[in-house]
Amino acid sequence: MSTALGAALGVKGLVKRFRGLTATDHADLDFAAGELHALIGPNGAGKTTLINLLSGELQPDAGSITYDGRDITRRSVDQRARSGLVRSYQITSVFPEFTLLQNVMLAVQSLAGHSFSFMRDTRSDPRLIEPALAALELVGLGAQAALPVDTLAHGARRQLELAMVLALRPRVMLLDEPLAGMSGAEADEMVALLTRLKRRYTIVLVEHDMQAVFSLADRLTVLVAGRPIASGTPEAIRNDPRVRDAYLGDAQELM
């Protein structure tokens, strides 16, 4: 278990097709270690597809993915996750029947290599509870640890989602719209949280809230029809004509 420190991630000539339509079209991207790299683009630009390719839930039709210097194109989801390449979901995906603590404990547990322990009661196992509580504290859910998830507000669920990712001591976090459906206040909390987390991890962020993106990201990549058309600092992207063209009416949204 390497202590969480960002690792580099890159894709070469990545292609993914669904019944004719090309969701990812010869994408070449590099995510430097420790940077927060945002993927933006109009709807259907293939942002989530790219995340799914990176996390391994989709297999590319062509191209390669390198992580921490190794080719992981054919690695399975769980193999990638164990090596520190962890994702969160756009639509909250947790274990509703469990408490918050149990949700995060499950994540902590999966770090421990295997879970073939049959008799030891997890409910009194500090090695699980303490890291889990820590992760919950980090996202500001420490107080609600004992509550079952189904009593939770949407915003809090998104935070839980992130806590579960953090509990996995990731080196690269793939965050798919962590702000989706959050109230203004909740969103601000989350942005603050992500700002705190920056540098300690490599973060690939897909997000529609442009304000948040431009305030958080070290670099941005603009995807259009599955192909990265521009990549650079927020400043560079702001003034890139191609991006304006790509976004057309969305121009205002960029400012």
Q: Which residues bind another protein (CB under 8 A)?
A: 55, 57, 76-82, 86-87, 89, 93-99, 101-102, 105-107, 109-112, 115-124, 128-129, 145-146, 148, 164, 168
Tokens of 131: 């890291």
Minimal distance, residue 244 CB to another protein, in Å: 34
Minimal distance, residue 237 CB to another protein, in Å: 29
Minimal distance, residue 114 CB to another protein, in Å: 8
**Cβ-based nearer residue to another protein, 93 or 239:** 93
Minimal distance, residue 124 CB to another protein, in Å: 6
**Cβ-based nearer residue to another protein, 180 or 254:** 180
**Cβ-based nearer residue to another protein, 44 or 232:** 44
**Cβ-based nearer residue to another protein, 94 or 220:** 94
Tokens of 252: 């205002």
What is the rounded distance in angstroms from the CA atom of residue 23 to the CA atom of residue 171?
A: 26
For strands 9-18 and 62-67, give the pairing.
antiparallel
Minimal distance, residue 239 CB to another protein, in Å: 37
Tokens of 81: 């996750």
Which backbone phi and psi does 69 adopt, to 5 degrees? Answer: 85, -5
The residues, any chain, with a CB within 8 Å of residue 200's CB and separated by 6 or more, are 4, 5, 6, 34
Residue type, 161: E
**Cβ-based nearer residue to another protein, 116 or 185:** 116
The residues, any chain, with a CB within 8 Å of residue 221's CB and separated by 6 or more, are 29, 37, 38, 39, 40, 228, 230, 231
Q: Provide the sign of the torsion angle of the four alpha carbons 239, 243, 248, 252, taken in this order.
A: negative
**Cβ-based nearer residue to another protein, 148 or 234:** 148
Minimal distance, residue 15 CB to another protein, in Å: 20
